[in-house]
Amino acid sequence: QSALTQPASVAGSPGQSITISCTGTSSDIGAYDYVSWYQQHPGTAPKLILYNVSNRPSGVPDRFSGSKSGTTASLTISGLQLEDEAHYYCSSYTHLYTPVLFGGGTNLTVL
């Protein structure tokens, strides 16, 4: 069982918006803004798409946005494109024994 909880799957149609949640605790997401999101296509390494809750690295489209409320962080993808079909993982810092936590991942299907 992963430390951060994500839905196993979400689906959307091209052009629509979807949101993926990532729920933690008061020791991680609830205490710090060190939340990152990674996109992973099959057979490839993960790619950073958001950091510090809502910051986008250079080259990441502004269709990707992030937010946080309490112990839950969210990734929103607007204007879905076929190439967005991938697995998405959230990550957070925690002050507990293992400082890096990942969510179990969400499989996004673009229908």
Partner 1 sequence: QVHLVQSGAEVKKPGSSVKVSCKASGDTFINYLFSWVRQAPGQGLEWVGGIIPVFRTPTYAQSFQDRVTITADESTSTVYMELRGLRSEDTAVYYCARGPAGIVGATPLDYWGQGTLVPVTS
Among 64, 86, 103, 108, binds partner 1 (CB under 8 A): 103
Does position 101 interact with partner 1 (CB under 8 A)? The reply is: yes
Neighbours of 99 (CB within 10 A): 11
Q: Which stretch binds partner 1 (CB under 8 A): 9-17, 18-26, 40-48, 74-82?
A: 40-48
Give burial (CB, 10 Å; 0-12/13-18/19+) of 67. middle
Tokens read off for 1? 């069982």
Binding test (CB under 8 A) with partner 1, winner from 39, 71, 74, 91: 91
Examine residue 57 and tell whether it contacts partner 1 (CB under 8 A).
yes
Sign of CA dihedral 59, 65, 67, 72: negative
The correct pick among 15, 16, 41, 48 for binding partner 1 (CB under 8 A) is 48
Alpha-carbon span 19 to 3, nearest angstrom: 20
Residues that bind partner 1 (CB under 8 A): 2, 32, 34, 36, 38, 45-48, 51-52, 57, 89, 91-94, 97-105
